[in-house]
Structure 1
Amino acid sequence: MTEIELLIDFHVNAERQGPGSDEDTLKALSFIDINPDKTLRIADIGCGSGAQTITLAKNLNGKITAVDLFSDFLIKLEKRAKVLNLEDKISTLEKSMEDLPFAKEEYDILWSEGAIYNMGFESGIKNWKKFLKTCGYIAVSEITWKTKNRPKEIEEHWNNEYPEIDTASAKIEILEENGFTPVGFFFLSENSWVENYYDPMEKRFDDFLNKHGNSDVAKTIVEKENQEIALYKKYKDYLSYGFYVAKKLPAE
């Protein structure tokens, strides 16, 4: 198996493919002015196996298009939606977030938890804006510095992993420069990282390595994940996911 196939296999049965929680999703949703009598159109971009998609479906009157590049995750989401009798509210789309087939101003809400980094925050905001109705909302979580200055070790690590990592003020400025007005922001809690993401991940390491015969590629994946976990726990005061919620302004 290739590295990407192994990564999918490692993450596909996880509740989440990144930090987050139902509470985080609902808190972000609370910043959005929702007309309960309107049937909303929502796109969840980079949905993974859809923990947040399910939460949105349970709490919104609307139709959700759940988008991911990898069918393995979408199959998991479809099965869970069926078990929960939510299949009429969720449809899946296997597509790259850089090549979305949506119509202009098709959606009331664009959602993306921990995924926009795949194309870059600024690129995602600029490219997805056209799919959002005027006065519609975008809600994304993105790795964010919590302080202006950081220890060299963590700064070098994340600048190498994701050069667009920046402070919340810089991310909010990007939103403002691209025709959005911020309506809400918060940092994810430590529990959203450790209890909901890293602890379950660590419990999967041994089974994953055994399943793949302790191959070099499998061991490299586990080593990289262990390194990230250690760095987060050491430097959690300096970074987290920031959750950004913003409203699309009318064109000038």
Structure 2
Amino acid sequence: MNDENKSIHEFDLELICEYFVNLERQGPGSPEITIKALSFIDDLNDKSLIADIGCGSGGQTMVLAQHALGNVTGVDLFPIFIDLFNRNVEKLDLQNRVKGIVESMDNLPFRNEELDLMWSEGAIYNIGFERGINEWRKFLKTGGYIAVSEVSWFTEERPAEIEEFWMDAYPEIDTIPNKVAQMQKAGYIPVATFVLPENCWTENFYAPQVEADKLFLEKNKGNKAAEEFIANQRHEAHLYNKYKEYYGYVFYIGKKI
């Protein structure tokens, strides 16, 4: 495998965090998409408990908190993201009902049937979609909701180049009907499924990386691993532009039975 085609998982985590902490979003999405997904969630009130798993620096969490009643806990493995998350909370004066904590998504600190809503934008792949929706289900009250965005195939067949790239990066990538079936099998009523529009990738995720790439390379001048990482990010963006009709992010929203 050449450097250009490395999986992101082959790079040092500190290097990845150093890069993504300078971006408002750590994955494809938009405030409008967060609000749209939230529109399918019923019965939230000021006593509701919400968790955003793999929240990063909290770009989507802040939108969620501003448009949903209840108390919101952002969870991320990396302290650098949670420090920034909690600074963002204070800037928006949300500290009375929003907080970020450092914890792994496979060791969540919630009680059984404690949460009204579990949220995760572009992050559940770290544990795997099927494992995540099954293991997290116990934290939800009956009638509680799960809402996650997940990279998915739009077609049954696709060109070998993009198939190989994603099967290496995330072997659990699958078609939308198969993901919905997994959600139903895990004990949820599938409430809504929708594809994130192209601008969530091009304008909100890849475009800000152009300036971030320059700053990152200047800061890490002569660092071969940093140069390879940026080459990897640019290759991923190139593949998206070339093959975007075959895959993208999809929001899956389910209600615990």
- What TM-score comes out, normalization by structure 2 length? 0.94
RMSD: 1.0
Alignment identity in percent? 49
Letter of the aligned partner of 1:230 in structure 2? H
Within a 5 Å distance, the mapping from 1:224-243 to structure 2 comes to 224-243=232-251
Letter of the aligned partner of 1:10 in structure 2? Y
Which structure 1 residue ranges, 4+ long, deviate > 4 Å from structure 2? Answer: none
CA deviation vs aligned residue, 1:33-92 (integer Å, no higher than 9, x gap): 1244x5210000000000111011101111111000001111111111111111112111
Secondary structure (helix, strand or coil) at the match of 1:139 reads: strand
Is 1:22 equivalent to 2:31 in the alignment? yes
Q: 103-112 or 38-47, which moves further after superposition?
A: 38-47
Secondary structure (helix, strand or coil) at the match of 2:35 reads: helix
Within a 5 Å distance, the mapping from 1:24-173 to structure 2 comes to 24-36=33-45, 38-173=46-181
Q: Conserved in 1, the CA contact under 8 Å of 2:75 and 2:103? A: yes
What residue number does 1:221 align with? Answer: 229
Aligned length: 247
What residue number does 1:193 align with? Answer: 201
CA deviation vs aligned residue, 1:173-206 (integer Å, no higher than 9, x gap): 0010011011111111110001000000122111
Secondary structure (helix, strand or coil) at the match of 1:54 reads: helix
What stretches of structure 1 of length at least 5 have no aligned partner? none
CA distance in 2, matches of 1:35, 1:63: 10
What stretches of structure 2 of length at least 5 have no aligned partner? 1-10
CA distance in 2, matches of 1:67, 1:5: 18
Q: Conserved in 1, the CA contact under 8 Å of 2:44 and 2:70? A: no
What residue number does 2:18 align with? Answer: 9
What residue number does 2:6 align with? Answer: none
